[in-house]
Amino acid sequence: MALYDDFEFPVRNAIVEAHTAALESFAAPGTWWNAAQRCAIVAEARDARCAEGLQDPLDGDSSDDVTAADLPEAARKVARQVAVSTNDLDRSFFDEAIAAGLTDTEYTETVGIVARASALDVFARGIGVRSRALPEPQAGEPTRKRPAAAKDEGAWVQSIPGGRRGGDEAIDTYGSNDPQAAPFIYRSLSLVPEEAKGLIRNGGSQYILLEEFMNPVFTLDPSISRPQVELVAARVSAINQCFY
């Protein structure tokens, strides 16, 4: 059974494949969190969104069921706040998370998981189906590999530069050594490259392919033009106070 077979209209294969891969990634060992901890992060984010009335509860997917994941309270707090209040977070939020014991890489992975999971849940709500359940957590340990090319580029955490400055790690993360292949919205998660890759895959299935980013006539769906896509995106961003 495909991921969205309960929806009355077909969903593009690229979206189904990207969302399926995302769900599987949440239940697999990551770079700094193990699979159980990653599932706990998703559950914390979902609990917070349900408490705010942003989505309906999913049976068996509550943070109460993943307390054995041994996820630090600081990570749980980050997950819950990022899930519902990104528009009013400032540098002090990050500094407090670090002071509470999170590393910059753990913080980045937590934010990446919440961002990607929330995108899937918003999509599900948008088409009128329930959020998709997570697979069972897999065994295994995090890779704990920090990218050597990561640098301070003025953000709260280090990031892998686009183009030649990022070297092979930029090519691996962004799929190209073209600086335009690494917009800051994707670069923001590149301290944990697998999270950046997941965000890029979601963006490529739902929004636009990176290699077509500067092409004003490219669209993933012939029923809506690129200018119309950008108009909708800009309006939704303004409503959500997302001023990227």
In 25-181 the beta strands, taken as DSSP E runs, fall at none
All structural domains of the chain with their residue ranges: 1-145
* Per-residue model confidence as pLDDT tens digits over 112-157: 999 999 999 999 999 999 999 999 999 999 999 999 999 999 999 9
Each residue's pLDDT expressed in tens, for the chain with a length of 244 residues: 789 999 999 999 999 999 999 999 999 999 999 999 999 999 999 999 999 998 988 865 555 555 557 899 999 999 999 999 887 889 999 999 999 999 999 999 999 999 999 999 999 999 999 999 999 999 999 999 999 999 999 999 999 999 899 999 999 999 888 877 788 889 999 999 999 999 999 999 999 888 888 899 999 998 999 999 999 989 988 887 776 6
Residue with tokens 């030649």: 164
Going by C-alpha positions, the residue among 113, 125, 123, 115 that lies closest to residue 55 is 125
Q: Which helix (H) or strand (E) holds 77?
A: helix 73-84
Residue with tokens 């998660």: 189
Distances (CA, A) of 9 to 34, 37, 135, 149: 36, 34, 24, 44
pTM score: 0.93
Q: Report the distance separating Cα 137 and Cα 29, nearest Å.
A: 8
Going by C-alpha positions, the residue among 213, 12, 45, 40 that lies closest to residue 127 is 12
